[in-house]
Amino acid sequence: MSKRRDKRFMGEAYWLALWNYGLTGDNPSVGCVIVDKTGAVVGEGVTAEGGRPHAEQIALDEAGERAKGCTAYVTLEPCRERSTGEDACSKRLIDAGIGRVVCAVADKHPKGAGGFAALRKAGIPVLIGIKKDQVSWLYEAFFAEHS
């Protein structure tokens, strides 16, 4: 994968996250774009108003079986754990057979942090920091309240 392509699709994930910024309750607004090897977007999502479902869940539902082997571009580290008891986003990505995860910002929230470790443990390569300078402001207030 090229760095240029990674920046392009992270930019798309960022714009998705902007759509519901301030509308997601206690959860941060996250954007997720799932892209196949040819560069086609097969799923995209943004954290829903009120905070649920999460962006990854929406994007994976849209992608369905096409998610296998794809790259997921996510503005914030996929959660390690959910307060609702539902499957965490990192587990959903693993179960869908995602081939690679590119993320802008690591999560400092106690239930979010650890998603990268879960993905790597499952053998999924993770690239962190793409467009971090552009995206990180979205999560400053969330981290200040929940870290």
> pTM for this structure?
0.97
Under the banding of pLDDT at 50, 70 and 90, the label for residue 1 is: low
From the candidates 56, 77, 81, 140, which is the catalytic residue? Answer: 56
Helix axes 55-63, 89-96, angle to 10 degrees: 20
The model's pLDDT over 14-50, given as tens digits with 9 standing for 90+, comes to 999 999 999 999 999 999 999 999 999 999 999 999 9
Average pLDDT, the chain: 96
- Ordered by where they begin, the domains of the chain are 3-146 (3.40.140.10)
Segment 58-83 mean pLDDT: 96
User: Is 56 one of the annotated active-site residues of the chain?
Assistant: yes
Q: How close are the terminal C-alpha atoms of the chain, in Å?
A: 33
* Residue whose C-alpha is closest to residue 123's, from 146, 101, 147: 101
Is residue 29 a contact partner of residue 20, using CB atoms and an 8 Å limit? Answer: yes
Query: Mean pLDDT throughout 106-134?
Result: 95
Of 8-12, 64-68, 80-84, 131-135, minimum mean pLDDT range:
80-84
What integer is the mean pLDDT of 98-102?
Answer: 98
**Torsion sign over Cα 89, 81, 16, 20:** positive
pLDDT digits (tens, 9 = 90+) for 106-119: 999 887 899 999 99
Looking at the chain, the whole-number percentage of residues with pLDDT higher than 90 is 90
Whether 145 has a pLDDT exceeding 70, the answer reads: yes
